[in-house]
Amino acid sequence: MCLQDPPLFQGSPVRAPGFQYYVSNVLGFKKRVATYVNLSLAKDFKYLCFSPTVDVLRLVLSRNDGRPVLGGFDSFSLINTYNRKVDGVNTVKAADLFTDDLHPALVVRDLNMHTLYMDATRNMSNTEGRKGEQYFRVAGLQSFAIINEPGVYTRTPDNINDRPSIINYTLANRQLADFVKRWKTNIPHTGSDHTAIVTSITSAPYITARPSPNWGKITWKVEGKPNAVIEDEVTKLMGSRFNNEHTTSFKWTRETERENAVDDFDFNLSLLIHTIKKHPPMKRPCKWSKPWLTPELTQLRKDFTCVARKAKMNPALTQHATEKKKAYQSNVKRAKAAHW
């Protein structure tokens, strides 16, 4: 958990039960950033703490037993920053914040920068826009990318005369990109005008399937008859051996060239797939897709929600709604087990 301007007691951040905190080791300055680590993680990991400036805290995590932390990487850097404005000048330079790390690194929190890429509706001055573009250009050169959801405000002022903005960012470098699972801001309000951000990271690469044809939904028959379009295209591929045409797209293997049979078959199969590929709809999975969800489960869910709504008005249906719910949940568990 990364905080900026944390609450202090006698010059040090307040303690939180179940957490251990790390702060900047720059002496003689107020503690501007603090990172709290759950004790369940602290016992299995060792931490190296670096503070290039009072506004930046770099925490490098590695396992005590030497095993990899993420994928094949043996360490992970969490960079907590508070890019304050002092006399109109930002205190954290992009070149000092974004470095060419060879292991996964995550930069979080308050950068006090604006960019039209994240907030396209913001009316900003040329100076403000150019400053943000230059700042994030340096991040891009060091392989860091913004993982915020565009248009989601991260600061909502208490004063209604001030406009909301996006100044809290989460940036991941190239080595970490495949491990980021989710970025969200829909957690309870913390009392600050800055929105709390949760970034979920997995220990193994989190990659969704690529779009592909849904072969099971090809329309082979129209009104009980073979699809004339598909039949005509396949017939043209076969060529003169099956019709009166003198051209063929398939390769036919001669008796004297049996050694080419495998290569000819691979060529013909590839050509056939390419021809049929344009007929089925495309599956476009995303990180919210549920590959185990079947039409039967969808119907069970509809039945359950329908009875549950009626039970709110008629208590006599409560038992029936409970049975529908149990049936749906048990079928979901079986479907997940069969898929995994």
* Count of the separate structural domains present in the chain: 3
Query: Same structural domain for residues 45 and 20?
Result: yes
Q: How many residues does the chain have?
A: 340
Residue 251 lies in a domain: yes
Query: Same structural domain for residues 125 and 58?
Result: yes
Residue 194 lies in a domain: yes
DSSP secondary structure code for residue 173 in this structure: E
Q: What pLDDT shows up at residue 27? A: 78
Question: Within 3-125, where are the H helices?
Answer: 39-42, 94-97
Rounded average pLDDT over 58-69: 91
Query: Same structural domain for residues 180 and 275?
Result: no
Helix (H) or strand (E) holding 329: helix 318-339
pTM of the entire structure?
A: 0.65
Query: Same structural domain for residues 231 and 276?
Result: yes
Q: What pLDDT shows up at residue 84? A: 93
Tell me if 197 sits within 8 A of 168, measured CB to CB.
yes
Confidence of residue 282 (pLDDT cuts 50, 70, 90): confident
Helix (H, G, I), strand (E, B) or coil at 243: coil
Q: What pLDDT shows up at residue 248? A: 67
Query: Same structural domain for residues 223 and 79?
Result: no
Residue 51 lies in a domain: yes
Tell me if 231 sits within 8 A of 224, measured CB to CB.
no
Does pLDDT of 295 surpass 90?
no
**In sequence order, what are the beta bridge partners of 198?**
184
- pLDDT digits over 135-180, tens only? 999 999 999 999 999 999 999 888 888 889 999 999 999 999 989 9
Helix (H) or strand (E) holding 186: none
Residue 70 lies in a domain: yes
Q: Which of 248, 282, 316 marks a domain boundary?
A: 282
The mean of the pLDDT values for the chain is 88
Query: Same structural domain for residues 131 and 59?
Result: yes
Residue 62 lies in a domain: yes
Q: How many CA atoms lie within 13 A of 95 on its CB side?
A: 0
Query: Same structural domain for residues 295 and 239?
Result: no
Query: Same structural domain for residues 91 and 120?
Result: yes
Query: Same structural domain for residues 240 and 330?
Result: no
Residue 206 lies in a domain: no
Query: Same structural domain for residues 195 and 231?
Result: no
Query: Same structural domain for residues 121 and 160?
Result: yes
Tell me if 214 sits within 8 A of 241, measured CB to CB.
no
Query: Same structural domain for residues 332 and 273?
Result: no
Residue 207 lies in a domain: no
Range of the structural domain that residue 259 is part of: 212-282
